Amino acid sequence: MHIMEGFLPVTHAIGWSVASAPFVAYGLYTINKRIREKPEQRILLGVAAAFTFVLSALKLPSVSGSSSHPTGTGLGAMLFGPSAMAPIGLVVLLFQALLLAHGGLTTLGANIFSMAIVGPFAATTIFRLAKAAKLPFGFSIFLAASLADILTYITTSAQLAFAFPDRLGGFAASFAKFAAIFAITQIPLAIIEGLMTVVVMNALARLNAPQLQDLNVTPTLEAKA
């Protein structure tokens, strides 16, 4: 995520862009369909996009060629499902590449794949499993957001290791190095992101209870407690 401009080999940059494209296209379809059917959800969709932009813009230096920061995609994924976050992630990452020099255009596909595809799918899956296990609402949100953040960076580590395998240990050794260095900053950031997502989701549950119930985030009014 936020791998810098020109850092990946051309074939890798193209490959990740091709892999991300179907998710973005399908995400645009689902968003357009949702907005047509329930235009009142535009505000929540805007909140999810803004949350992603703000959190993922909080950049901290990390491994050469990348950076550590919260992702912010877990909130939108839990509200609207993982597919909606691919086009949102595209817009967020494009603006950050052009305006903030975070990431880049050639690495956009790789950054979308880690932050806006893997992260949201992880958040949605973890959140649904936690709900099925009847864990407390706040704890379910925290688990989903924080673990999705960590899995995003595991994906980034894999992308970098795949592009730059260790001369002796190959992919595995390179992945271990990238992941270990990322962990120094990313584990605390993941915890912070989890807590912030709980705060925002609880606020939305208080202010927009009917919409969150309609989205099957809070099945009952009591679930937001």
The radius of gyration of the chain from alpha carbons, rounded to an integer in Å, stands at 17
> For residue 22, with 0-12 CB atoms within 10 Å meaning exposed, 13-18 middle and 19 or more buried, which class applies?
exposed
pLDDT band at 221 (very low <50, low <70, confident <90, very high): very low
Q: What does the pLDDT read at residue 9?
A: 94
**By percentage, how much of the chain surpasses pLDDT 90?**
64
The pair of structure tokens assigned to 182 is 């990322």
Quote the pTM value. 0.89
Q: What does the pLDDT read at residue 17?
A: 96
Any idea what the CATH number is for the domain that residue 160 is in?
Answer: 1.10.1760.20
Q: What does the pLDDT read at residue 52?
A: 92
Query: What region does 59 belong to: left with phi over 0, alpha with psi -120 to 50, or beta?
Result: beta
d(CA 132, CA 125): 11
Question: pLDDT digit string (tens) for 64-110?
Answer: 555 678 899 999 999 999 999 999 999 999 988 888 877 789 999 99
Average pLDDT over residues 126-140: 94
pLDDT at 139 over 90: yes
Q: What does the pLDDT read at residue 223?
A: 40
User: Which residues, at least 6 apart from 145, have a Cβ–Cβ distance to it below 8 Å?
Assistant: 74, 75, 78, 123, 193, 194, 196, 197, 198
Indicate whether 101 belongs to any domain: yes
Indicate whether 137 belongs to any domain: yes
Indicate whether 1 belongs to any domain: no
Indicate whether 212 belongs to any domain: yes
Average pLDDT over residues 125-147: 94
Indicate whether 4 belongs to any domain: no
Q: What does the pLDDT read at residue 101?
A: 76
Indicate whether 113 belongs to any domain: yes
With beta carbons less than 8 A apart as the criterion, state whether 137 and 146 touch. Answer: no
Indicate whether 121 belongs to any domain: yes
Average pLDDT over residues 141-152: 95
pLDDT at 225 over 50: no
pLDDT at 224 over 50: no
Please list the helix, strand and coil fractions of the chain in percent, rounded to the nearest 5, in that order: 75, 0, 20
Query: How many residues are there in the chain?
Result: 225
Indicate whether 59 belongs to any domain: yes
**By percentage, how much of the chain surpasses pLDDT 70?**
93
* Overall domain count for the chain: 1
Q: What does the pLDDT read at residue 222?
A: 41
Give the residue numbers spanning the domain of 159.
10-224
